[in-house]
């Protein structure tokens, strides 16, 4: 909530503001009168100036109310301007009447008390236009505050809408990825049904576990790496049931990285890509290496296979999994992320992801 939207704080700030004006004016009168050889006491200076400024403060309440009710905007600006011209005149006459009555009361016991008529006549000649200036200063201050408040509200609303849009985009990308993963896994199961029924049965069991996890985590965009590795292990059980001894997995995961936050389901499409393009096309045994290392304020993840790697002089065509992963990283981290496809020194392809290093806060656990 914007602080001055709380009524008690707003009125307290206004009272302090008018008090500061009164003190400044009293100091100026005290010093000026001393300078010209007509000194006055501090009590007199404070009494006179606080009477002036607190009278303006009292009358500023209806002035601010009128400014809120009748803003000078595109619609009805002429009518509202006319209302404020009348309001300014009423403010000025009201201040003069209030000040004259107060002056009459303050001097009632003096040798020569000031009458209401004399005080009003003096105020009319000395302060009529000053009162108008103060009225318009209050009106303009209220307009400036209203415009700033509306600007902040629109800004906060825009940020909220942007956040919702980003979340919707991420969920759309994740929803697009899950059917793709399911389709490929069902194809793998169907290929095993006649060859190895037991392996197909194990894959169906693991698939049901994975589907329960993905359904439960649809709204979760980031998870600790240890949770991501656990999910990936279940997925790899399906693939190892499919490929048997042709597929081996090696983990090079630094212990310190396990608490780091990563995008939910970020590794599965990378491993799937490695299997489909680095393992499946070849008859030789395949190996996938999973790496995670922290480098300062960044977390680096990598999936490496021992396949054919990227072909020279041929543009890279990213599949649904890699394309969605790149889009999700952009939505989550903007320019603070990287996704790179690199040929290994000993052959094969390495897909490397770099994201900001963050851990889950204690408050959210």
pLDDT for position 25 = 79
Query: What would the two tokens of residue 200 be?
Result: 């197909």
What CA–CA distance (Å, rounded) separates 143 from 230? 58
What pLDDT is stored for residue 252 in this prediction? 96
The number of residues making up the chain comes to 365
Considering only CA atoms, give the Rg of the chain: 38
Cα–Cα dist 296/291, whole Å: 16
For 99, phi and psi rounded to 5 degrees? -70, -35
Distance of CA 180 to the CA centre of its chain: 33
Rounded Cα distance, 350 and 306, in Å: 9
Per the CB < 8 A criterion, the answer to whether 46 and 26 are in contact is yes
The pLDDT assigned to 96 comes to 82
Residues contacting 59, CB < 8 A, separation 6+: 91, 94, 95, 98
Give the predicted TM-score (pTM) of the model: 0.53
Reading the chain (365 residues) residue by residue, the pLDDT tens digits are 445 456 667 767 777 877 887 788 788 877 877 878 888 788 777 877 777 777 778 888 888 888 888 888 777 788 888 888 888 888 888 888 877 887 788 777 777 788 888 888 877 877 888 888 888 888 888 888 888 888 888 877 767 656 655 555 555 445 554 566 677 777 777 877 777 778 788 788 888 887 777 777 666 788 999 999 998 998 888 888 778 888 999 999 999 999 999 998 889 889 988 988 888 888 888 999 999 999 999 999 999 999 888 877 666 667 777 888 888 898 889 899 999 999 877 788 999 999 999 998 754 44
Closest CA relative to residue 206, chosen from 182, 179, 174: 182
Question: Domains along the chain?
Answer: 3-158 (no CATH), 194-364 (3.30.565.10)
CB atoms within 10 A of CB 271: 22
- Among residues 49, 53, 64, 66, the alpha carbon closest in space to that of 95 is found at 53
Q: What is the pLDDT of residue 5?
A: 56
């Amino acid at each position: 909530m914007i602080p001055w939207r709380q009524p008690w704080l707003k009125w307290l700030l206004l009272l302090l503001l008018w008090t500061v004006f009164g003190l400044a004016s009293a100091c100026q009168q005290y010093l000026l009168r001393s300078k010209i050889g007509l000194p006055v006491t501090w009590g007199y200076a404070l009494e006179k100036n606080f009477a002036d400024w607190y009278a303006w403060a009292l009358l500023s309440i209806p002035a601010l109310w009128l400014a809120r009710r009748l803003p000078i905007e595109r619609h009805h600006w002429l009518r509202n301007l006319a209302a404020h011209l009348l309001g300014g005149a009423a403010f000025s006459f009201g201040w003069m009447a209030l000040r004259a009555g107060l002056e009459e009361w303050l001097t009632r016991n003096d040798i020569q008390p000031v009458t209401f008529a004399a005080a009003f006549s003096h105020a009319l000649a000395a302060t009529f236009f000053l009162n108008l200036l103060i009225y318009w200063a209050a009106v303009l201050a209220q307009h400036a505050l209203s415009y700033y408040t509306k600007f902040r509200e629109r800004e906060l609303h825009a940020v909220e809408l942007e956040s919702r849009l980003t979340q919707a985009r991420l969920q759309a990308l994740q929803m697009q990825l899950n059917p793709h993963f399911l389709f490929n896994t069902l194809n793998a199961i169907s290929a095993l049904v006649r060859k190895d029924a037991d392996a197909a049965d194990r894959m169906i069991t693991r698939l049901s576990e994975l589907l329960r996890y993905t359904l439960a985590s649809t709204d979760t965009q980031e998870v600790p790496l240890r949770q991501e590795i656990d999910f990936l292990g279940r997925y790899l059980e399906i693939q190892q049931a499919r490929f048997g001894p042709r597929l081996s997995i090696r983990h090079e995961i630094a212990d310190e990285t396990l608490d780091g936050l990563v995008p939910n389901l970020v590794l599965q499409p990378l491993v799937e890509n490695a299997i489909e393009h680095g393992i499946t096309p070849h008859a030789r045994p395949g190996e996938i290496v999973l790496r995670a290392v922290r480098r300062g304020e960044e977390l680096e993840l990598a999936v490496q296979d021992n396949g054919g790697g990227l072909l020279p002089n041929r543009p890279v065509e990213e599949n649904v999994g890699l394309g969605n992963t790149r889009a999700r990283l952009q939505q989550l981290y903007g320019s603070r992320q990287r996704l790179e496809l690199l040929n290994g020194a000993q052959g094969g392809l390495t897909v490397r992801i770099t994201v900001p290093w963050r851990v889950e806060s204690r408050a959210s656990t």
